[in-house]
Amino acid sequence: MSTPVNTSDDTPGNDGTTVEMSRRRVLGTLGAAGAGGLVVGAVSGAGIASAVSGESAPSAPALTTVGSTEVMFHGKHQAGITTPLQSRGHLIAFDLVPGAGRKEAAALLRRWSTTAGTLMEGKPANGADTDISLDAGPSSLTLTFGFGRTFFDRTGLTARRPAQLDPLPAFSSDVLDPKRSEGDLWVQIGADDALVAFHALRAVQKDAAGAARVRWQMNGFNRSAGATAKPMTARNLMGQVDGTNNPVPAQSSFDQRIFVPDGASGAQAWMAGGSYAVVRRIRMLLDDWEGLSRPEQEQVIGRRKSDGAPLSGGSETTPLDLNKLGADGKTVIPNNAHSRISAPAQNGGAAMLRRPFSYHDGIGADGTPDAGLLFIAWQADPLRGFVPVQRKLDRGDALSAFIRHETSGLFAAPGGPATGEYVGQRLLEA
């Protein structure tokens, strides 16, 4: 298990005396509360437990709400798919090193799963911990693992590669950098604290030593937890409410659209309870976008910028009235508006769970920001989810003039591990 690191902090009290606070004791209390305490937003096996300290002594103060929230590592589905958006994120892809195969991959997934389970409980990483997030709790940390198409070639498992991992087609808005696309293995990290997220990133990279090397890595962010008066749909760097039409677990078709069914057979048997992630780094041409007036921006999207409501009227969650006409006899929501073209009703019901992070990687030599969206879309079948929608957007979406797809990846994320299992065990040990 883990190596204890700095198990107590000496914190001066108000009277000048020293109060000893055991970090491990506090986190142990949090773990106990997670098993039977209040569950906030528990979805599909990825429950978020709000921990409450059971100690009455003032020497063991509870962590704040943001720091104490814990997401379960074990469950039917991997964490980080239906988990509410976190404020910080890292995406990292690896390629197996030359000579590494199925045996080495299995050992790596065991290490990663052990590390993920430990860190998600708010405990120090196994081995020599870096102490980066020493003072923090779990902070809603999640680690999600996926396999790319090439992983199956390098591990001798091509017979078990699902057709859902067939390469995505080319799109006219693609300006893809192959060095920052795809990969044998992919890890999505999310947390509500930047140091907790970075701690997990370093632990994952260290665990990979000798088995896999980094192919590419990207950093993202969202609005911080508690920054708004009430929970709200996220906004992207264009200022638009982003994610309104996402499928939600309460819908009867949610699992069918997002997760591979339990009865999956053949090459997909090991993917039962899993999902496919399409990952795209989409640069936003913000100078061009911000040159538009607000009404012009709303025409491009088909929604009000203020609250995300459709231009046809109502509130954010009001269905789009695609047939409503204005005084000029034209449709209120333009025919090339992004919301119209991407609507499930316009795409045979195709839907995906969009769970993105924004990114900003500085200012380019031309003075424009390198910023946009780390687009992550989860679905049971990308050939029925992402591909048909993106094809339609590719043919006439008004938003296309203001974005550029610069990287792309497709990964199979198996179902969550049962207690005692590691992620991908059903694939690697079958």
Reduced 3-state DSSP string for the chain: CECCCCCEEEEECCCCCEEEEEHHHHHHHHHHHHHHCCECCCECCECEECCCCCCCCCCCCCCCHHHHCEECCCCCCCCCCCCCCCCEEEEEEEEECCCCCHHHHHHHHHHHHHHHHHHHCCCCCEECCCCCCCCCCCCCCEEEEEECHHHHHHCCCHHHCCHHHCCCCCCCCECCCHHHCCCCEEEEEEECCHHHHHHHHHHHHHHCCCCEEEEEEEEEECCCCCCCCCCCCCECCCCCECCCCCCCCCCCCHHHHHCCCCCCCHHHHHHCCCEEEEEEEEEECHHHHHCCCHHHHHHHHCECCCCCCECCCCCCCCCCCCCCECCCCCECCCCCCHHHHHCHHHCCCCCCEECCEEEEEEECCCCCEEEEEEEEEEECCCCCCHHHHHHHHHCCCHHHHHEEEEEEEEEEECCCCCCCCCCCHHHHCC
pLDDT at residue 39 in the model: 35
Q: What are phi and psi of 207, to 5 degrees?
A: -60, -30
Which of 292, 290, 255, 289 is closest to 274 using CA atoms? 255
Confirm if 272 and 430 have CB atoms less than 8 A apart: no
Length in residues, the chain: 430
First to last CA, the chain: 26
CA-to-CA distance for 428 and 422, rounded, in angstroms?
10
pLDDT at residue 226 in the model: 85
Confirm if 285 and 368 have CB atoms less than 8 A apart: yes
The ranges of the chain with pLDDT < 50 are: 1-60
Catalytic residues: 242
CA-to-CA distance for 349 and 253, rounded, in angstroms?
10
Other C-beta atoms lying within 10 Å of the C-beta of residue 346: 15
Amino acid (1-letter code) at residue 184: D
CA-to-CA distance for 7 and 25, rounded, in angstroms?
8
Which of 30, 18, 145, 26 is closest to 78 using CA atoms? 145
The token pair at 249 is 């677990």
Q: Which residues are 77's β-sheet partners?
A: none
pLDDT at residue 65 in the model: 87
- Residue with structure tokens 């020293």? 18
420: left (phi over 0), alpha (psi -120 to 50) or beta: left
pLDDT at residue 63 in the model: 77
pLDDT at residue 349 in the model: 86
